[in-house]
Structure 1
Amino acid sequence: MIGSLAALLLFQLAGEIVVRLTGLPLPGPVLGMILLFAGLLARGSAPRVFTDTSRGLLSYLALLFVPAGVGIISHLARVADEWMAIAVTLIASTALAMIVTAFTLRALTTTRGE
């Protein structure tokens, strides 16, 4: 598990280095995950150790929401001041995601002939 976590961190580091050297408007960890995805596609499948590690990390995914919750609580006054903008943004982005998903599903099902 340590080896696969080290590999994930190395991909994140590679993404960070590429972003800083090229000035791409993209977070380094996102580019690192894109590089990891490309590497796994080139390999054809994920190694068993990556699969086991990712399942282990996903079992603790809820812990990743703790810092966001603490941030909201610590800035509760600002959230209270701007609740309308936050609510409109959440509703609009959710609706947009649902619409894009529906159109994508429709396009994929019609191209497959179903």
Structure 2
Amino acid sequence: MKYLRQFLIIITISLIGEILKELIPVSIPASIYGMLILFVCLMTGFIKIEHVKDVGKFLIEIMPIMFIPAGVGLMSSWDVLRPALIPIIIITVVTIITVMAATGLVSQSIIRFRKSKKSDSEEPKDE
């Protein structure tokens, strides 16, 4: 019953994301809306991590299986993709490097911010 409740929470948030996608005239995927809603709910404490942790782990474990249909689709479309292979490879490599660099810079900024915040709170106050 615990797993069913956790899965229902995640599915409900996904449904809300789908509804927002239809209501808001911006080209943002419904999955992004759902992830943002889940993130906000977790950060505010509206949903505790224990309410979705086990099913979330399970979904992450089976995620590679979800890529099998996409891989089969790519293989069946090989004749269409072959002429555009070089641009696709270039775009993929540039995108990977950009995402890695942005993630690294944001992570370093967060670490520096937390260190400076921690060192500010540890300084003795003169009275």
What is the CA-CA distance between 1:94 and the residue it aligns to?
1.7
Q: Does 1:63 align with 2:68?
A: no
Which blocks of at least 5 consecutive residues in structure 1 are unaligned? none
4+ residue stretches of structure 1 with deviation over 6 A? none
Q: Which residue of 2 aligns with 1:21?
A: 23
What is the CA-CA distance between 1:102 and the residue it aligns to?
3.8
Which blocks of at least 5 consecutive residues in structure 2 are unaligned? 117-127
Q: Which residue of 2 aligns with 1:88?
A: 90
What is the CA-CA distance between 1:98 and the residue it aligns to?
2.8
* Aligned-partner Cα distance in 2 for 1:70–1:63: 12
Q: Which residue of 2 aligns with 1:39?
A: 41
Taking a change above 3 Å as real, the CA distance of residues 83 and 106 of structure 1, as seen in their structure-2 partners, is: same
Q: Which residue of 1 aligns with 2:74?
A: 72
Taking a change above 3 Å as real, the CA distance of residues 5 and 74 of structure 1, as seen in their structure-2 partners, is: same
* Structure 1 counterpart SS, 2:57: helix
- When the two structures are superposed, what TM-score results if normalisation uses the length of structure 1? 0.83
User: Are 1:19 and 1:26, in contact at CA under 8 Å, matched by a contact in 2?
Assistant: yes
Cα RMSD after superposing both structures: 2.2
- When the two structures are superposed, what TM-score results if normalisation uses the length of structure 2? 0.75
Q: Give 1:27's aligned amino acid.
A: P
* Aligned-partner Cα distance in 1 for 2:110–2:23: 38
User: Which one is further off, 13-22 or 39-48?
Assistant: 39-48
* Larger radius of gyration between Structure 1 and Structure 2: 2
Taking a change above 3 Å as real, the CA distance of residues 58 and 108 of structure 1, as seen in their structure-2 partners, is: closer
Q: Which residue of 2 aligns with 1:30?
A: 32
User: Are 1:13 and 1:29, in contact at CA under 8 Å, matched by a contact in 2?
Assistant: no
